Amino acid sequence: MRAYRIAARYNLAELAKNTLAALLLAVLLPLWILAAPQIFAPASLTFRLRATGRTLTASTDQVGMIHGCLGIVMLLMAFLTFSAARQSGPFDRRLTAAGYPRTPLLLAKATSLLSAAALVALYTTVWTLAVWSPRHLGFLWLGLFTASLVYGTLGLVLALFLPGELEGMVVIFVTSNLDLLPQSPLVNPDPHGFLGPLLPMYGSTQTCLAAGLATTTPLRAVAASLTWTGTLTLIALLAFWIRTRERHLVTLDASLALSRGRASSG
């Protein structure tokens, strides 16, 4: 338990040190929410909510605000976790090579991700109240929370597989745009095809749109987001486990070779 508490404090401190992400969240997100009514034309938009199959009519500024908030949240969470994982990766491998248990490290990373996602979603949800009143405030938070989880775990996965920060930033930016843009009612008011529900942000987008604009919220959309989160988490944990195991074995072999060399020389 003590190992978990120490690792959790360290991981939370790593996330908190990213002042650029915190500044962007504190400034960019409220600026977008407050500016959305001035950016979009005061018109009604009719679109089909794919998760329920029902047709909804809403103001374009409300739809645009939801779309923009999702884009900001997912990008910031992916950048935040990617940067933190890149910085802590070598230290984590040294810890495990020295005998620090891996399970507390993994639990600490999960705790820091859940905490950051919950706070980012709460901050965004509270700011939306400055402009309008969503129909289901709790489900709006849930949609933003799952979006933060999906792209937070994606940032962890990319940090384990990509060689540098520039590659990670490019992949995150391109992936987020290819993922979110086709799901926006402003771009695609009548979605078709089988690929849409397979995209990572499908569940979060449908949940947020339904929470803000519909009378009911589809729980299957939440399950889709949790499925993506679970899959990406499993990939990240498996890659972390294999990498630290290989490092541990290499360190052990080197120690044995060194001890044998000392014995033969003696």
Q: Which two tokens stand for residue 100?
A: 């620090």
pLDDT in tens, the chain (266 residues): 777 887 788 778 777 777 888 888 889 999 999 988 888 878 899 999 998 889 999 999 999 999 999 999 999 999 999 988 888 777 777 877 777 787 888 888 888 899 999 999 999 999 999 888 899 999 999 999 999 999 999 999 998 888 888 888 899 999 999 999 999 999 888 888 888 899 999 999 999 999 999 988 888 899 999 999 999 999 988 888 887 765 444 444 434 343 444 444 45
Q: Is 45:58 a contact under the CB 8 Å cutoff?
A: yes
Q: Which two tokens stand for residue 82?
A: 């990617």
Q: What is the pTM of this model?
A: 0.87
Which distant-in-sequence residues (6+ apart) come within 8 Å of 93 by Cβ?
Answer: 243, 244, 247
